[in-house]
Amino acid sequence: MPLSRLFPLGLAALMGCAAPAALAQETVRSRAADFRIVEVAGDLEHPWGLAFLPDGRMLVTERPGRLRIVGADGSLSAPLKGMPEIYDSGQGGLLDVILDPDFAANSTIYFSYSTPVERRGTTRIAKAKLTDTGLEDVTVLFTAKTKGSNGRHFGSRLVFGTDGYLYASIGDHGADDTAQDLSLHSGKIIRITKDGAPAPGNPFLDTAGALPEIYTYGNRNPQGMTLTPDGEIWANEHGPRGGDEVNAIKAGLNFGWPETTHGRAYSGLPMGEGPEKEGVTPPIQVYVPSIAPSGMAFYQGDAFKGWQGDLFMGALALTHLNRLDMKNGEIVGEERLLEDKGWRIRDVRTGPDGFLYLLTDAEDGKLVRLEPAK
């Protein structure tokens, strides 16, 4: 269905929802840009992923298993129909959502979620057609083969690369050693086609005993992933007690978990063999203590000239918006914004309007945007 025919009446009329009565605004100063905070929508239960529809509306996932559409005026739809069964436990639930690169022609979206398998949850990826009543033709593309415990470390960000393939981050599901085991998907980043097949050219297609979808391994719990301005894949991941990382994702790399880490066990005892090891790719950025990074985006809009090309990440533990100042593809500084808010920022996206959008992870989570201060 062409996008122009999606929700022809507008969401407020279609869903019987009214736009928020008012938007909360305030001005914040930063090193490179002054901005104001605009609350777009509230009453979201643990929102996790955000995607922009070409008509100005937005898709938002809520971790308990609901997919909603937020109107440009802030109106919130009823939960869309057609979602599959969701394993809502611990860190699991409905996770990321992205549009097909050809969404305007095929109305297809992709989403990740935890699903119940053998009394526990694992990460699954599906696609579906978005219609004015919900989801149709839901097709499961991938189910992660894991051995993890309940409710922990699902990943799970989705990104289409410039090669047209779908990249997905899969956490170690709480079973550390599986991140080095190529016969399991846990602790990996995978690359698949739009139909769920292993992407041609994947690095372990000809490796005996290795799963063909694997693209990188040794990743603990990558909860942020995005394209750089040059079209490369970057991801962040949670360390244990300290040692969060930002990594440049390239075919076949081993990022070391749990053999190498800059952090320690939660008990405070050392972990692994140290921060470095031959054959392990070092991180681009390390956080000690942990900030618990989540959704991430390189800013490429026109609204904030001082932020052009900078990397923004949500921080769940040391609640703030993390800005990495980038120059010629390298990190030259760091700034921590919105520390006074106490927000667990779950996702960060550059909107098509050039503003920066954030999701806050709470029972009464919000969708907010950052605009230049007037």
pLDDT the model gives residue 126: 98
Residue 267's pLDDT is what?
A: 85
CB atoms within 10 A of CB 161: 16
What pLDDT is recorded for position 133?
81
Predicted confidence at residue 5, as pLDDT, reads 38
pLDDT of residue 246: 98
pTM of the model: 0.93
Q: What is the CATH number of the domain that holds 298?
A: 2.120.10.30
Total Cβ atoms within 10 A of residue 87: 22
| 169 SS3 class | strand
Predicted local confidence at residue 15, as pLDDT: 37
Active site residue 153: yes
Q: What pLDDT score does 19 carry?
A: 41
For the stretch 202-256, pLDDT in tens is: 999 999 999 999 999 999 999 999 999 999 999 999 999 999 999 999 999 999 9
Following CA atoms 276, 336, 188, 97 in sequence, which dihedral angle do they give, to the nearest 10 degrees? Answer: -170
pLDDT digits (tens, 9 = 90+) for 356-374: 999 999 999 999 999 999 7
Question: What are 304's two structure tokens?
Answer: 């904030």
CB–CB of 89/118 below 8 Å? Answer: no
Would you say how long the chain is, in residues?
A: 374
Distance (Å, whole) CA 72 – CA 346: 21
Domain count, the chain: 1
Q: Which residue has the tokens 């921590």?
A: 336
Q: What is the pLDDT of residue 150?
A: 67
Name the 3-class secondary structure at 173.
coil
Residue 102 burial (10 A CB sphere; 0-12, 13-18, 19+): exposed
Per-residue confidence (pLDDT) for residue 9, from 0 to 100: 31
pLDDT score, position 22? 34
Q: Which domain holds residue 368?
A: 3-372
Which residue among the candidates 46, 153, 173, 238 is catalytic per the annotation? 153
Low-confidence stretches of the chain (pLDDT beneath 50): 1-23
Say what the alpha-carbon torsion angle 45, 53, 104, 142 is, to the nearest 10 degrees.
-30
